[in-house]
């Protein structure tokens, strides 16, 4: 994959100067996760991501953690803020994201003649 230049957002201001950030997607690794676990130490936030192939199973399950992100609290707060804004825009465009799967299930329409 070629380097991708995206409009840079000033990361910080230092004596009136802005830092320009560019991104390379040459070595990008994409993964899907439907499970996340967040833990922390006094210095870092740890986000474990995994694929739970049977998310509605009951009883004991073993989930294999595939990805681990470790970041400082400043990066975690920036991520938190960005995710919040992204979710807000999505809900404004498409409606509220219901987290309770029982509330998301719509009953099937009755068959004709019944």
- Model confidence over 16-31: pLDDT tens digits? 788 999 999 999 989 9
Give the Cα separation of 22 and 34 in Å (integer).
Answer: 29
Instruction: State pLDDT tens for residues 95-113.
Output: 999 998 888 887 656 666 6
Look at residue 39 and tell me if it is in a domain.
yes
What pLDDT, on the 0 to 100 scale, is given for residue 4? 53
Look at residue 32 and tell me if it is in a domain.
yes
Look at residue 3 and tell me if it is in a domain.
no
61 near 54, Cβ under 8 Å? yes
Give the total number of structural domains in the chain.
1
Look at residue 57 and tell me if it is in a domain.
yes
Look at residue 95 and tell me if it is in a domain.
yes
More confident site: 6 or 112: 112
Q: What are phi and psi of 77, to 5 degrees?
A: -70, -40
Look at residue 6 and tell me if it is in a domain.
no
Look at residue 13 and tell me if it is in a domain.
no
Q: How many CA atoms, within 13 angstroms, populate the side-chain half-sphere of residue 10?
A: 6
Q: Which domain range does residue 27 map to?
A: 19-103
């Amino acid at each position: 994959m070629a380097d991708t230049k995206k409009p840079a957002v000033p990361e910080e201001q230092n004596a009136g100067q802005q830092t320009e950030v560019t991104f390379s997607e040459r070595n990008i690794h994409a993964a899907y996760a439907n499970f996340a676990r967040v833990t922390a130490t006094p210095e870092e936030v740890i986000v474990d991501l995994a694929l739970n192939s049977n998310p509605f199973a009951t009883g004991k399950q073993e989930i294999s953690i595939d990805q681990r992100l470790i970041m400082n609290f400043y990066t975690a707060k920036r991520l938190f803020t960005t995710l919040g804004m992204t979710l807000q825009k999505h809900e404004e465009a498409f409606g509220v994201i219901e987290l309770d799967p029982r509330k998301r299930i719509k009953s099937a329409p009755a068959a004709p003649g019944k």
